[in-house]
Structure 1
Amino acid sequence: MTRRGPNRQLAGLLAESGWSAGELARAVNALGTKYGLRLRYDRTAVAHWLEGSRPRPPVPGLVAQVLGRRLGRVVHLGETGLERPAGSGSAADAVLRDGDPVDRVAALCDTDADPVRRLALNREMFAATDIRLPSWPSGAEPRTDRPGDTARREVPGADPRLADVVTAFAELTEKYGGAHARSALGTYISDDVVPRLRASPGAGTSDSEVLTGSACLMHLLGMMLSDAGLPNLGYHCYRSALELACRADNRNLYAITLRTMAVLALRLDDLAHARQWSQSALELAAPTAPLTVRCYLHAGRAVVRAADGEREGALADLRAAERCHDAEADADSGTGTDSGTGTGTEPLGLFTRYPPAAFRYQRGEVLLWLGDRTRAAVAFQESLAVRPPAHHISRLLTHARLAGTLLGLGDLEAALDQCRQACAHYPLTASRRTTAALTALRRSLAPYRRHPLAREVRGHIARLTSRA
């Protein structure tokens, strides 16, 4: 900790929030658990901060985020008075100081390959830092793919070699989780993709295809990092994906990435950014965006609005998503195209599809936030009915969500069955999210600890997660 004079900025924010020092400390501790941290701050620690002490990262960022949630707006790190002095050499400055997007891609992949630098950068809270996302040029017309591009490739407009790599790693991530084979993807981007980006600086068709494929790969790396418990490093990869999509003039890919960032922000209790990014994603999507993209964007904003208590807005977005989903299903049935059977955790399938299982899961999330547990349980069951058996990550997360919903409905026996099915997938996953989901289930079963079957399931979950 470093010390200086009284922190009037933090005192002002604390007064504006209406919190006591102890309440701020508890909020920081609670948010820390979502980032995999075990914090034990109390009112005494906050008193020291108010006197001028600065806690080490990522605590200043956590303070900014919880105050932002309390105040209903984005609070940047500089507003808290806890930011380190200029020139202190933060991990983010060291990796991201270069203004060239390709150099940043290389720096991020190199950082991910080094355990010490990786953890240091992940301690820099992305949402609390005043990092401006790349904006779309005003008045720029959206690019439309050439006829036949979408039919020929999994990732529309992407170089076919890069598209194949996206497909392979997306499938691995969906089956086993973000901590599985992530280093291989980072190495591929660093060794193969970065040199191609540097060799294709122009704006021709082939350059655009390399940029689009590279943006998809950085999006996927961001997903894997977030799933592995490194959300801040994941955010920086998403930002690189936005920059590359912007250079490729691929407005739909930009919107997909922004929507994915919004849902991650929601999982991390950063509602202010979740609102901002889910709204911007829909505003920035190309007017000619495919039905699958519009469905994905509306479903994402529906979840955010439901979490924010905007019942009517959430239901309106859900209805809009359903119309897009049904229209796409009708089009597929008319052409004989398989609409896919993916899951709720992937970024729009392989950037081209929004499978029924994924959409039904999102519907369940919206309904659960709105308090309709009965219909939410039905949505989760419908999602499971069409999920591929080998997609262990998404099946576990859906079983866990359904188990919690059934507990809320008072159906302990059915909930325990869902817990057992979730546990069956766990040994095949490499994901912080799956560990957190089972840990939350164990806590939910605490009131039933005297029930023999519930006690057995709680013990099984404890044994499984203790190895994580």
Structure 2
Amino acid sequence: MGQRSPNDQLAALLAESGWSGGELARAVNALGTKYGLRLRYDRTAVAHWLEGSRPRPPVPGLVAQSLGRRLGRAIHVGETGLGGMAGGGASTDTVLKAGDPVERLIALCGADADTNRRLALNRRMLTDVDIQPPAWPPAAGPQDGPPDGAVPNQAPHGDARLSDMVTVFAELTYKYGGAHARSALGAYITDDVTPRLVPSPDGEAADPLVLAGSACLSHLLGTMAADAGLPNLGYHCYRSALDLAYQAGNRNVYAITLRTMAQLALRLDDMTRARQWSERALEVADPTATTHVLSYLYAGRAVVLAVEGERENALADLLAAENSLDTEADPAPLRPFTVYPPAAFLYQRGEVLLSLGDRGQAVTAFQQSLAARSPAHHIALVLTHAHIAETLLSLGEVEAALEQCREIFVHYPFTASRRTTMALTAMRRCLAPYRRHPQAREVRDQLIHLTRRKAGVAAP
């Protein structure tokens, strides 16, 4: 083997950041946890990287993201000197580099159906692939939109078959989580949807309503992947949804997808993209967007602003979302992409207030969300009860918090979701100081039992 060359690029970035090797290792480990990875790097590992060794993907991407967040600018893998390690293979490159959104969607579904290719694709971090949304000028009037005869402002459910399937898979996701039935959605897109997206032999383009409905399904596939612990795969699916919505001329589906991408970025502590995408969603939204869409977009940006500590702006967006909310809307049947349920808004109100330090008001909002939530939406119920329990513990209300935990026990067994598993893990940590409290110890033991029993059930 040839002698390794010192990694001067990584050394320069490390010096600029002011971090030691151990601090970089800890940052990479912490970020890896957000992506569902158990990493145990230390200063020795970083020393090896500086000497010229290269970790396997997705670690180079995690290094780039960690350094980028420290330095306040985008850092690509190539800038770290850690790129070039084989990880995804030609098939992964084929998926990501497909220029046509229909071809990319077919390739994504095919990759998701194969465990090895799925995991290889999920190792491709955002810093490896440029996933910038297609340029779409800010909405100024009905004349704005892409060329080529696309029909703007159409609802995504003009096609009855696609509308029904969007509803079916959205309902399954809300009930059970992203690790349930995702392969069925991928198969449906591949076998039934993509053939309708291919231009006819005489060159006639696909129906814009079919394109928009396909964008909704690709969006759902991304949401399911992210919820199953495959966030990068989720981003790639969202990118296809953006492209399809753009081809359809549907600003609202495009904006909704950007907003959802922002929430995923927020969960990954990527504040730059969370802010960028939540703002872009409101810029792009159709000037004739419904109150439901506007409420959804404002609430999403309010959450981001609250996490960043911008109290006045966050509350202003929350008020705008509330003013746009149609509280008289019939929540059944579920109409994803067209209806923003009050229960969902109240949950996000709770998140905003919690981030701003208004814990009592946050608990009230979460409780109101529970009252309006379908008893079958197990994912949201687990997450909401967990939020309330953690907040009550922080207020010293131990008994009330334990009651919330017992409600979690009812719904968690129905879920196949990394988010709910992480919520229970966080709850266990919150209860750790109460080991001498008999009921708290009993609840914590039950949380441990549930998460261990579920280990592997919601695996990607």
2:370 pairs with one of 375, 384, 403: 384
Equivalent position of 1:38 in the other structure: 38
Match of 2:264 in 1: 264
Q: Which amino acid aligns with 1:357?
A: A
- Report the alpha carbon displacement of residue 54 of structure 1 after superposing the two structures with TM: 1.3
Separation in 1 of the partners of 2:34 and 2:12? Answer: 26
Partner residue in 2 for 1:113: 113
SS of residue in 1 equivalent to 2:124: coil
Contact kept in structure 2, 1:212 and 1:250, CA below 8 Å? yes
Compute the TM-score of the two structures, normalised by the length of structure 1. 0.90
Shift of 1:303: 0.9
The residue matched to 2:132 in structure 1 has which SS? coil
8 Å CA contact 1:222, 1:234 repeated in 2: yes
Larger mean Cα displacement after TM superposition, 52-61 or 192-201: 192-201
1:353 aligns with 339
Tell me, yes or no, if the aligned pair for 1:200 and 1:207 is still in contact at 8 Å: no
Q: Distance in 2 between matches of 1:88 and 1:229?
A: 18
Superposed displacement of residue 77, structure 1: 2.0
Tell me what 1:345 maps to: none
Match of 2:427 in 1: 441
Partner of 1:67: 67
- Equivalent position of 2:144 in the other structure: 141
Q: Which amino acid aligns with 1:33?
A: T
Query: 1:363 aligned to 2:355?
Result: no
Structure 1 counterpart of 2:330, from 316, 323, 338: 338
How far is the alpha carbon of 1:422 from its aligned partner? 0.9
Partner AA of 1:380 in structure 2 = F
After superposition, what is the alpha-carbon deviation per residue over 1:289-338, rounded to whole angstroms, capped at 9, x for unaligned? 1111111111111111111222222122112112112xx33xx4xxxx52
Deviation at 1:268, TM superposition (A): 0.9
- Counterpart in 2 of 1:95? 95
Counterparts of 1:116-127 in structure 2, within 5 Å, are 116-127=116-127
Q: Which residue of 2 aligns with 1:316?
A: 316
CA distance in 1, matches of 2:443, 2:138: 56
Distance, in Å, in 2 between the alignment partners of 1:433 and 1:88 is 25
Q: TM-score, normalised by structure 2?
A: 0.91
SS in 1 for 2:130: coil
Q: Which runs of 5+ in 2 are unaligned?
A: 146-150, 456-460
Unmatched 5+ stretches in structure 1: 343-348
Q: Which amino acid aligns with 1:46?
A: V
- Select between 253-262 and 314-323 the one with higher mean Cα deviation: 314-323
Q: Distance in 2 between matches of 1:136 and 1:430?
A: 36
* 3-state SS, counterpart of residue 46 of structure 2: helix
Maintained 8 Å contact 2:138/2:284: no
Cα distance, 1:75–1:184 mapped onto 2, change above 3 Å: same
Deviation of the 1:433 alpha carbon: 0.9
Alpha-carbon shift at residue 11 of structure 1 (Å): 2.2
Verify the 8 A CA contact 2:96 2:104 in the aligned structure 1: yes
For 1:201 and 1:382, locate their aligned partners in 2 and report how far apart those are by CA, in whole Å: 54
Match of 2:255 in 1: 255
C-alpha change, 1:130 and 1:77, in structure 2 (3 Å) is farther
What is the CA distance between 1:145 and its match in structure 2? 4.0
Q: Residues 425 and 199 of structure 1: is their aligned pair in 2 closer, same or farther, counting only changes over 3 Å?
A: same
Equivalent position of 2:52 in the other structure:
52
- 1:429 is matched with 415
Please give the secondary structure, in 2, of the residue aligned with 1:124.
coil
Q: Which range is displaced more, 68-77 or 37-46?
A: 68-77
Task: Give the secondary structure class of the aligned counterpart of 1:450.
Answer: coil
What's 1:346 paired with? none
CA distance in 1, matches of 2:250, 2:189: 20
In structure 1, give the amino acid aligned to 2:448.
A
Equivalent residue number for residue 172 of structure 2: 172
Give the Cα separation in 1 of the matches to 2:68 and 2:8.
Answer: 17
Q: Is the 8 A contact 2:87 2:120 kept in 1?
A: no
Shift of 1:178: 0.8
Cα RMSD for the two superposed structures: 2.4
What is the rounded CA distance, in whole Å, between the counterparts of 2:177 and 2:184 in structure 1?
A: 14
The correspondence for 1:394, drawn from 340, 355, 380, is 380
Instruction: Pick closer, same or farther for the CA change 1:200–1:314 going to 2, 3 Å.
Output: farther
**Cα 1:202–1:446 shift into 2, 3 Å:** farther
What corresponds to 1:232 in structure 2? 232
User: 2: distance between equivalents of 1:409 and 1:319?
Assistant: 26
Residues 405 and 443 of structure 2 are in contact (CA less than 8 Å); yes or no, is this contact kept in structure 1? yes
Distance of 1:3 and 1:450 partners within structure 2: 57
Q: Is the 8 A contact 2:353 2:359 kept in 1?
A: yes
Match of residue 407 from structure 1: 393
**Is the CA contact 2:96–2:129 (under 8 Å) kept in the aligned structure 1?**
no
**Mapped partners of 1:450, 1:247: distance in 2:** 60
The answer to whether the 8 A contact 1:245-1:253 is kept is yes
CA distance in 2, matches of 1:191, 1:462: 41
* Residue of structure 1 equivalent to 2:148: none
